[in-house]
Amino acid sequence: MTNRGSSGSERRPGAPALDLDQLLKDPDIKVIVTCGSGGVGKTTTAAALALRAAEQGRKVVVLTIDPARRLAQSLGLTELDNTPRRVPGVGDSASSDGALLAMMLDMKRTFDDVVSAHTTPEKAEQIFANPFYQSLSASFAGTQEYMAMEKLSQLRNQLVENGQWDLIVVDTPPSRSALDFLDAPQRLGRFLDGRMIRLLSAPARAGGKAYLKVVSASFGIFTKVMTKILGNDLLGNVSAFVASLETMFGGFRERAEQTYELLKASDTAFVVVASPEPDALREASFFVERLQQEEMPLAGVILNRVHSAEANLSTQRALAAAERLAEASTPDPSTELAAAALAVHAEFAESARQDYAMIGRFAAAHPDIAQRTVPALATDVHDLAGLRAIGDALAG
């Protein structure tokens, strides 16, 4: 495990501070993967990291696997698709070498690209027209993770071959499935080597009639039922699809395994994003432990939306002062305003106390994991200016 941190103002007891500027400026870092539960600001964090790296001179492409549109909105783009799009207003000056491109994983289009790249045009058209392929490429469980691995492999190869970008920032889905792509090579292998796939591909290899001689009676009953429910051509479509992709998927599995190994390399950094809430920190602990188990290079944890308050005025003192104002004088606008301000401060102070208590417990459970706290903002981030403010906070 790689743990990149340094001392700084964001140090918590037992936890080194995460130096994100050092990470972004390091030319040896080629891939940064952000992961975390939903609602913790992970997409905004990924966009802010990518923007900051671009404005420091790096050529960055940020890829979101999250199907929501938050990344496009925060970058001021009307849409994102499977092709990297240049973000206007970043790296446009003559003095800047940086650039920022953004894209969103299109699962079906990526699948189509894989087919087109590894089969003849005629065979590709047959596959695209296959109803089973149309269903598989759009909604089959696990396809998103397979295609995420494939797209990351494509981007990584482009980085090496033509230097269009020198840093890839990946925004993963907002759930524990964010790390499912780590299992893609093994899951794909189990899928392709499974008994059902071998049975379904038998008709194409045996010409159909021979297949009927080798299947069992129970399997024959099963296929009749499924054919009645899903259509007469079901087994033919499945068999033709599996036979068409049999050799192509072997190469895809190999690339997925290569990409998995690249993610374990020293030029990759994983960043876990959380907020100081019990559920989010439990998810963060899951991500940290899973990454350590897989021996992935974990840079550290970013804790978003942390409340802060004036340390010299505690919750108790603020509430006591507000109460004295209410009791000691005749109510007037200025007194009421002061009491209300003290009450608001008391709420912030209590939130800050709870936040740092949660952060302290997380640090005690993971004392060697670098942390960076980001203060809670009054408004949502929806433009480049807001992302720059987040980038400044991330840099401490």
Is the per-residue pLDDT at 244 higher than 80? no
pLDDT at 219: 44
User: What's the pTM?
Assistant: 0.78
Strand order through the sheet with 298-306? 85-86, 99-104, 59-64, 167-171, 31-35, 268-274, 298-306, 371-375
pLDDT digits (tens, 9 = 90+) for 19-51: 999 999 999 999 999 988 888 988 899 999 999
Per-residue pLDDT band for 396 (boundaries 50, 70, 90) equals confident
At residue 78, the pLDDT reads 76
Q: What is the pLDDT of residue 341?
A: 74
Q: Is the pLDDT of residue 58 over 70?
A: yes
Asked which of 70-84, 209-223, 261-275, 378-392 is least confident by mean pLDDT, the reply is 209-223
pLDDT, mean of residues 129-134: 78
The mean-pLDDT minimum among 20-34, 46-60, 237-251, 293-307 falls in 237-251
Q: Which DSSP string corresponds to 336-383? A: HHHHHHHHHHHHHHHHHHHHHHHHHHHHHHSTTS-EEEEEPPSS---S
Task: Identify any residues that bridge with 128 across adjacent strands, giving them in sequence order.
Answer: none
What pLDDT, on the 0 to 100 scale, is given for residue 217?
Answer: 45
pLDDT tens-digit readout, 190-215: 655 555 455 555 554 454 444 444 44
Most trustworthy range by pLDDT among 217-226, 236-245, 362-371:
362-371
Amino acid at 77: L
User: Can you tell me the mean pLDDT for 316-337?
Assistant: 70
Asked if residues 60 and 163 have their Cβ atoms less than 8 Å apart, the reply is no
Please tell me which residue, 137 or 165, carries the higher pLDDT value: 165
Give 328's pLDDT tier (boundaries 50, 70, 90): low
The two beta strands, 99-104 and 85-86, are antiparallel
* DSSP conformation letters of 249-269: HHHHHHHHHHHHHHHTSTTEE
pLDDT of residue 147: 78
Question: Could you say which DSSP state residue 215 is in?
Answer: S
Please, which pLDDT band fits residue 230 given cuts at 50, 70 and 90?
very low
Tokens 């400044």, residue located: 392
Per-residue pLDDT band for 297 (boundaries 50, 70, 90) equals: very high
Residue type, 190: R
Cα pseudo-dihedral 303, 183, 48, 285, rounded to 10: 0
Q: What is the model's pLDDT at position 197?
A: 53
pLDDT at 9 over 50: no
Residue 25 has a pLDDT of 94
Output the pLDDT for position 324. 72
Higher local confidence (pLDDT), 250 or 377: 377
Average pLDDT value for residue range 232-252: 60
What's the pLDDT score for residue 258?
81
Which of residues 271 and 331 earns the better pLDDT score? 271
Torsion angle (degrees, nearest 10) of CA 127, 131, 137, 140: -140
Query: Per-residue confidence at 318, pLDDT binned at 50, 70, 90?
Result: low
Burial 142-159 (b: 16+ CB within 10 A, else e): bbbbbbbbbbbbbbbeeb
> What whole-number distance in Å separates Cα of residue 160 and Cα of residue 64?
21
For the ranges 8-22, 36-50, 351-365, the lowest mean pLDDT is seen at 8-22
Does the pLDDT of residue 347 top 50, yes or no? yes
- The predicted pLDDT at position 1 comes to 39
Q: What is the pLDDT of residue 345?
A: 67
Task: Determine whether 391 is exposed, middle or buried from the number of CB atoms within 10 Å of its CB (0-12, 13-18, 19+).
Answer: buried
Q: Taking all residues of the chain, what is their mean pLDDT, rounded to a whole number? A: 77
